[in-house]
Structure 1
Amino acid sequence: MASVGEAASPPKAEEMGRTDQTLTLLASLMEGGKEDDETCEDLDKLTKLLTEDLEHVKRGEESITKVIDGDCVDTLVAYLDMRQSDKVRGHATLTTSAYLKAAGEEGNQILATFFHDRIKRGNYDDYIVAFCVAAVTFPIVPELTTNLFLTEGFLSSLAPLMRRKWKSRKVETACLEMLNAACMTSAACREAVLKYCGDWLEEIVDQDPEEVVSAMYAANPDASLQEGSVAMRRHSQQVQNLAAVVLAKLRLVQPLTLPDGSESRIQPASTSMEDLTKMFTTMLIKDPEHSKQQSVEGLAYASLQAKVKEDISKDPDLLKRLVKILEEAPPKSPLTYGALSVFVNLTRFQPVQSEEEKKMSQLKAYANAAGKLQPDPLNDDQHVSERCKRVFASGITPVLVSHSKNGSLASLTLIISIIHSLSVVTGIRGQLAQQGAVRLLIGAWTALPDSEAVARRTAAQALARILISTNPALVFGGTQPTPQTAAIRPLVSILTPDPDAERRDLLPSFESLMALTNLASTDDDTRRTIIRTAWDEIEELLLSSNSRVSKAAVELVCNLVQSPEAVALYADCTKPQTKNRLHILLALADAEDEGTRSGAGGALASLTAYEGVIRGIVARERGVNVILGLCSEDNEDLRHRGAVTVYNMVTAEGEVGELARAKIKEANGVDVLMQCAKKSRRAEVVEVTVRALKAVLEQP
């Protein structure tokens, strides 16, 4: 208890109820005049209370939003004003989002009242706040904000407001930020912006500030030379950039005609997408500090067009500037996302289509535009590959590696997409590995949740492509902290086709098999891990109807059977499952595809060092004939595999050796081996064939 004459200390936050805490925070925010850190702290506490409110309401408690009236909301959203610091605006955005989610329809009504009241007042300060709030709430409550935005008479009043003789740059900027957000929300918003603000946007972008000044002096030679008066009659560079970004979005998504059938006023205008791109590029090169956010966002939209992609990729200074901006951009920021989006657009390959899909696309093109809609040649694989080479040469890979460590889920998905495209170019795969792309992809695959199945498969496929073309010892050897076994699980995850895809794509399966084959050529630990993790999938792919996949699977088996764990799967042919495995291998050794025969022959050459496998071949109808067929091949490598297999069989000790020699003689093996020796030119092939022939002839 406080002593006499001593003031009682205010209750601590944890001792107060939720409602009292809310009122205290709102009173503190209404008071204002605090440092940004203190304001952000209050906003964060309020956000926490509002976020937890939903759970309390579910338990039957009263919502704290009941004490948040229109004046409180007015105070809260005032912190979204562009004249506040970016830090405060960011925290206020989270608080506003939490409030609207907790308050539901009542919060929507209060926000709508706030917006309409501010617009009715009609002074610059109220316009700025209303526009800023609309820009922030478009992604939070898109339906509500769209309805407010499309209120009859609102948009039609903007152009006259913006065309006033004496301009407010802050009003213009706030208005353009709102239009920018609107263009990302719905087609109805874009159509409305085009109809009511298209000409005004064109005027801003086309305006030459020097011409404005010259015109002023021509009209009034005695005009005041004060810079302020001149500046107020021309648009700032930031305003021009924002207008250009909005125009870029309209260029890409707006149809040629408006819903009422009238011609779009934006289409015949003089400012083309190429003009806008030049504007963004110039500003990034000349004044990156004051224009990079708008310019990068504009390029992210402009670079969806093939011609713009080519222009950007052929400008090395611009590419290096974009890489530098990405390198310096804060993690999880809009600037990071925008810069990554540009590089995704530059490097994106067109989806692979089957012949049937190509025919359907052509039919649709003829139906839609009498055959005039044809794929842009600048988007073909050759052009995209060249763009990928230029992007890689700009030094982007180390920057992507850096951003992948602490970026957002959305940014990580874009990074994976870029690396995936770069990995298509075989000539740079080794350098990608050297610059950290392998560790990036393994880390990304591990970090991504299961719900991000597409991104995980994309990361695994990019990893497979790089590991196909690189020496595992160089990628994982030395002081590298990542063991090569860490790559196995991502690779195995794409062995089977994506069950959710509309079209069954076997390319990831094929590339994964090739990468695993490369890894399996190294050591027993890796081979054991592959067998434990993926043997069932590998066996299934051995029987694939796709000859390339079947070939890749048997080549992997050829490397895996160097491990005792794989030998154990074939050695005991008294078991039905083991016998079936050997039968599949013999069938593949007699396949039409030469590469498949080679892989199967190599596996048999290793496995016939074991008695159980020899018994299985001898017992199999045509088993010996298949082996002798390898000895009769035109390809000397295949003959070598066949000759080694025969040698292993006929030199086996005991009963199994006698049985093998008898079967070889019975199948005209002596003549086959003699012809094999005559056809061969390499010493090791001739030597093993002659030794096999001697074993057949000399022993009973």
Structure 2
Amino acid sequence: MDEQPIHLNSNTEELTKLPTTDQAQLLLARLMEGGQEDDETCQVLDQLTKLLNDDTTTKNKESSVCSVIDDVCLDTMLGYLDMRQADSVRGHAVLTVSAYLKASGDKGASSMKQFFFDRVKRGTYDDYIVAFCVAAAIFPIAPDMTAEIFLSEGFLPSLDSLMRRKWKSRKVETACLEMLNAASMNSQCREAIRKYCTDWLEEVVDQDPEELCKAIHAADPDVKVTEGSIAIRRHSETVQNLAAVILAKLRAVPSAQQTAEGTGSRIQPAVTSIEDLSKKFTKMLVSDSENGKRHSVEGLAYATIQPTVKEEVAHDKELLTNLVKVLKDAPAKSPLTYGALSIFMNITRYQPSQSEEEKKMHQLKAYANAGGKLPPPNPLNDDDHVSARCKKVFDAGIVPILVTHSRHGSVASLSIIISIIFALSVTANLRGQLAQQGAVNLLIAAFTALPDTEMQAKRTAAQALARVLISTNPALVFGGTRARPQNSAIRPLASILPPDPNADTRDLLPTFEALMALTNLASTDDDTRATIIRAAWPEIEEQLLSTNARVSKAAVELVCNLMQSVEGIALYAEDTPQAANRLHILLALADAEDEGTRSAAGGGLASLTGFEGVVKGIVKRKRGVEVVLGLCAEENEDLRHRGAFVVCNMVSCEGEAGKLARDEIRKNNGLEILKECAKKSRRPQVVEVTVQALKALLEED
């Protein structure tokens, strides 16, 4: 039977009836034919992408779609990455090429290299444009393969003569710089660009059109330099802006040689400093051009790695306002959004805290790497400067914009948003305003939305949440009609009670701040207290025994609040070995060296001793009564109040437990201790409860 002819205008339903290789041939033919609307081209590219993705999954090499993609077909596909194509077409073509590289493996990589070098070898402007555009587009998709192409011997040096030609194609220059811009994300490529391209990149950035006109006229008087002539401005504004972005990346990230030597590797100082570039980006930002904004944001995202630029940007109120507006108007998940967020993250980032041992190790490594020349830390990176910058960023109105972007952002953008809020939350007097502007809802939602693979970002969100909740009234934070339920904050806070398992050293600050925030929440209602116990009790118990006095104290304060609920009391009042052990720990903490810890433990005992089982447990415990009476003998009147209240509860207890308590307290000189407590106390409520305890002790059993 004769084969059915394949028609280029076949619809999707008819197309799917054909074998996959025939489908691919038809789609490729439609792409070669051209002349379609952009929407139709995108649709064809999407269909081809699906075939290639399915081919990767099935791995059926006998009927592989890649078998029908020869050099001509590949040439056609890659042609849709050309900068002269519509942005929508280029976007869909990137997905198609990505799917092709996955499906074709080594053969596809080899074909890609051959395509690139063939185009560059031809040397026409059109070939350069296509080759450079393809390299720029596939760098993020296949960085290792593209870097190998980019670093091929002789390629980068050849760009010097291309960019310094007397008569130029601006599209070639733009495509070339887009490629360099993408390549500069790779450390090896960045070093090669620094070596071979820095001089002419600086020439492009520093070009003065008026001086250029005079130079051209002096060299060739017959050349007419008129307005709009290609000779009047050898490099377009877009080209200059792109070159500035690349230079910013080179200046912001020091070379391996600079890092090792502690100084620049070039004899002459850089013509264009990072500060000069940042001023250029600032001017570009206010331009109406979308490309100008994109390049300025990308450049500042790298320039603000440097402390001097951070300070300049943070103290430029107009620039900060413009950056906030750019972020507000930027589409979700766009490079512009990511770039603007990166700027704010750089400005607000604190230096990581280090233990004394870590500081010494860091100094030794830096000294070794610098060959004996250890530069002092930059004072612009200290906490005071960062705090001041955070305040200025907050005053620029960044938080509501971050809240909006967090609802639709990518995982990468969400992680940066969390980092910015985390930095702002360090300043205690900003925390209330952060809560008012939606930061609490943002952090809870981000913690929930982030996958478990982003555990560091989840921990950062939880710690920022803890800081805000330490300093704010939960009733105000969670009381609004659009607020999340209060209990939704408990799981994020509980997650940072244990130390970070992936950290080299144990940082107890997140644990401490989570305990403080949970204590604040536990002061509200029984439902919240019960939820905290269910979600975090084992970790809270573990922190009671922390070797760090502040962490232990925070844990006891939380337990004291939890004892206001039935679930909390049950943990200590039950007749079980576990309950007896918990009571033993609480009594030990009531005798701790730290006064705050003794106070919190005394408060917990005051709540618990209203129950017969707890009273009996204290009497049975060695030194139990002695510890309680010790609270009554404290110099601090608050502690004496707690101790007297505990004793009053114990001696007022009915039944056998009460009798045992009264006998044991008398044996331990309780009468004299209580009399002295009453004499030393000035507050009526302390005197009253002490006298009440004395009366119960003086009565005959």
CA distances 1:472-497 after superposition (whole Å, capped 9, x unpaired)? 10110131341010111111111100
CA–CA distance in 2 between the matches of 1:288 and 1:638?
68
- Between 1:644-653 and 1:593-602, the stretch displaced more is 644-653
Taking the TM superposition and a 5 Å limit, the aligned residue runs for 1:623-642 are 623-642=624-643
- How far is 1:698 from its partner? 3.2
Q: Secondary structure at the match of 1:140?
A: coil
Is residue 2:434 matched to residue 1:437? Answer: no
1:608–1:614 contact (8 Å) kept in structure 2 = yes
Amino acid paired to 1:527:
R
- Work out the CA distance in 2 between the residues paired with 1:638 and 1:210: 82
Partner of 1:516: 518
Q: One-letter code of the match for 2:312?
A: D
The one-letter code matched in structure 1 to 2:355 is S
Matched, 1:426 2:439: no
Kindly provide the CA deviation profile for residues 107-144 of structure 1, in whole angstroms up to 9, marking residues without a partner as x: 11221121112112211111111111111122222232
Counterpart contact for 2:441–2:483, Cα < 8 Å: no
Q: Contact 2:209 / 2:233 at 8 angstroms: preserved in 1?
A: no
Q: CA deviation at 1:221?
A: 8.1
Task: Quote the Cα distance in structure 2 between the aligned partners of 1:266 and 1:522.
Answer: 67
2:523 and 2:231 map into 1 onto residues whose CA distance is 70
Identity %: 67
Instruction: Using the TM superposition, give the Cα deviation of residue 61 of structure 1 relative to its aligned residue in structure 2, in angstroms.
Output: 4.7
Residue 201 of structure 1: how far off its partner (Å) = 0.3
Q: Which residue of 1 aligns with 2:229?
A: 229
The secondary structure found in structure 2 opposite 1:452 is: helix
Q: Unpaired segments of 5 or more residues in structure 2?
A: 1-6
SS at match of 2:174: helix
Which range moves more in the overlay, 631-640 or 219-228?
Answer: 219-228
Partner of 1:497: 499
Work out the CA distance in 2 between the residues paired with 1:439 and 1:215.
61
Equivalent AA in structure 2 for residue 696 of structure 1: L
Within 5 A, what are the aligned runs for 1:340-489? 340-369=341-370, 370-489=372-491
Between the aligned partners of 1:9 and 1:363, the Cα distance in structure 2 is 70
What TM-score, normalized by structure 2, do the two folds share?
0.95
Which one is further off, 673-682 or 620-629? Answer: 673-682
- Residue 351 (structure 1) shift: 1.3
Residue 228 of structure 1 and its aligned partner are, at CA, apart by: 2.5
Larger CA deviation: 249-258 vs 68-77: 249-258
Asked whether 1:325 is paired with 2:307, we answer no
Aligned residues: 690
Q: Does the 8 Å contact 1:517/1:559 carry over to 2? A: yes
- Which position in structure 2 is the counterpart of 1:4? none
Instruction: Indicate yes or no: 2:197 matched with 1:197.
Output: yes
Report SS of the residue matched to 2:63. Answer: coil
Asked whether the 8 Å contact 2:212–2:232 carries over to 1, the reply is: no
Q: Secondary structure at the match of 2:484?
A: coil
1:220 Cα offset (Å): 7.6
CA shift at 1:534, angstroms? 1.1
2:266 & 2:232 partners in 1: Cα distance? 27
Q: Alpha-carbon deviations, 1:187-220, whole Å to 9, x = none?
A: 2x22322222111101011112343345556778
Report if the CA contact (8 A) 2:225-2:232 is conserved: no
- Structure 1 residue 164 displacement after superposition: 1.5
Structure 1 residues 517 and 436: CA distance shift in structure 2, 3 A: same
TM-superposed deviation, 1:55: 1.7
Partner letter of residue 582 of structure 2? Answer: R
Shift of 1:252: 2.8
| Alpha-carbon contact 1:198-1:266 (below 8 Å) kept | no
Q: Distance in 2 between matches of 1:265 and 1:366?
A: 22
In structure 2, the CA distance between the partners of 1:433 and 1:258, relative to structure 1 (3 Å rule), is closer
Q: Which amino acid aligns with 1:205?
A: V
Determine whether 1:542 maps to 2:522.
Answer: no
**Residue 22 of structure 1: aligned partner:** 24
- 1:315 counterpart letter in structure 2: D
CA displacement at 1:257 relative to structure 2: 4.8
Q: Is the contact between residue 365 and residue 374 of structure 1 (CA under 8 Å) also seen in structure 2?
A: no
CA deviation profile, 1:604-633 (whole Å, cap 9, x unmatched): 000011111111111112111111111111
Q: What is the distance in 2 between the residues matched to 1:598 and 1:258?
A: 56
Separation (CA, whole Å) in 1 of partners of 2:268 and 2:143: 27
Q: Please say if residues 167 and 232 of structure 1, whose CA atoms lie closer than 8 Å, have aligned partners that are also in contact.
A: no
In structure 1, how many angstroms separate the alpha carbons of the residues matched to 2:254 and 2:621? 68
CA RMSD of aligned residues (A): 2.2
Q: 1:266 to 1:76 in 2, by over 3 A?
A: farther
CA distance in 1, matches of 2:561, 2:216: 81
Letter in structure 2 aligned against 1:207: Q
Q: Residue 230 of structure 1: CA displacement? A: 4.9
> 2 CA distance for matches of 1:284 and 1:50?
41
Given that 2:287 and 2:293 are in contact with CA atoms closer than 8 Å, whether structure 1 keeps it comes out as: no
Where 1:234 maps in the other structure, the secondary structure is coil
Cα-to-partner distance string for 1:284-309 (whole Å, 9 max, x where unaligned): 13446341111111111111111111
**C-alpha contact 1:138 1:185 (8 A) present in aligned 2:** no
2:161 maps to 160
Query: Which residue number corresponds to residue 246 of structure 2?
Result: 246
Q: Deviations over 1:568-605 (max 9, x none)?
A: 11113x42111111010000000001111111000000
- Which residue is equivalent to 2:147? 146
Q: Report the CA distance between 1:365 and its aligned residue.
A: 3.1
The one-letter code matched in structure 2 to 1:228 is: G
Paired with 1:9 and 1:460, the residues of 2 have a C-alpha distance of 55
* Larger CA deviation: 245-254 vs 502-511: 245-254
Q: 1:530 aligns with which of 517, 529, 532?
A: 532
Query: Closer, same or farther in 2 for the Cα pair 1:519/1:61, shift >3 Å?
Result: farther
Q: Aligned pair in 2 of structure 1 residues 377, 272: CA closer, same or farther (>3 Å)?
A: same
Q: Which residue of 1 aligns with 2:4?
A: none
Change (3 A) 1:588 1:254: closer
The code of the aligned residue for 2:227 comes to E
SS at match of 2:93: helix
**Which of the residues 52, 55, 61 maps onto 1:53?**
55
- Change in Cα spacing, 1:329 to 1:683, as seen in structure 2 (3 Å) is same
| Counterpart in the other structure of 1:38 | 40
Tell me which residue corresponds to 2:658: 657
User: Partner residue of 2:3?
Assistant: none
State yes or no: 1:645 paired with 2:646: yes
Q: Kindly provide the amino acid, as one letter, of the partner of residue 43 in structure 2.
A: E
Post-superposition Cα deviations, 1:458-512, rounded to whole Å, max 9, x if no partner, equal: 1111111111111110110131341010111111111100112111111111111
Q: 1:379 to 1:658 in 2, by over 3 A?
A: same
Structure 1 position 683 matched with structure 2 position 687: no
Quick one: structure 1 residues 230 and 134, their matched pair in 2 at CA, closer, same or farther if it must change by over 3 Å?
closer
Quickly say closer, same or farther: Cα 1:258–1:71, change in 2 above 3 A: farther
Structure 1 unaligned regions, length at least 5: 1-6
Whole-angstrom distance in 2 between the partners of 1:471 and 1:256? 50
Give 3-state SS (helix, strand or coil) of 2:228's partner.
Answer: helix
* Equivalence map 1:102-181=2 (5 Å): 102-181=103-182
Cα distance between partner residues in 1 of 2:383 and 2:155: 47
Q: SS in structure 1 opposite 2:229?
A: helix
Alpha-carbon spacing, 1:257–1:502, altered in 2? closer, same or farther (3 Å): closer
Contact 2:138 2:146 in 1 (8 A): yes
Code of the aligned partner of 1:296 = V
Distance 1:106 1:171 in 2: 29
669-678 or 550-559: which moved more? Answer: 669-678
Deviation per CA, 1:358-404, whole angstroms, max 9, x where unpaired? 11122223333325322211111111111111111111111111111
Aligned twin of 2:339:
338
Provide the C-alpha distance between the structure 2 equivalents of 1:464 and 1:652, rounded to a whole number of angstroms. Answer: 40
Structure 2 counterpart SS, 1:119: helix
Cα distance in 2 for partners of 1:218, 1:41 equals: 54
What letter matches 1:358 in structure 2?
A: K
Match of 1:3 in 2: none
- Residues 225, 231 of structure 2: 8 Å contact kept: no
Q: What is the rounded CA distance, in whole Å, between the counterparts of 1:293 and 1:241 in structure 2?
A: 10
Verify the 8 A CA contact 2:498 2:511 in the aligned structure 1: yes
Mean Cα deviation higher: 139-148 or 501-510: 139-148
One-letter code aligned to 1:693: L
Distance 2:700 2:239 in 1: 95
- The superposition leaves residues 7-47 of structure 1 with CA deviations (integer Å, 9 ceiling, x where unpaired) of 99877122122111111111111122222211111111111
* Structure 1 contact 166–233 (Cα < 8 Å) conserved: no
Residue 348 of structure 1 contacts residue 418 of structure 1 at CA under 8 Å; is this kept in 2?
yes
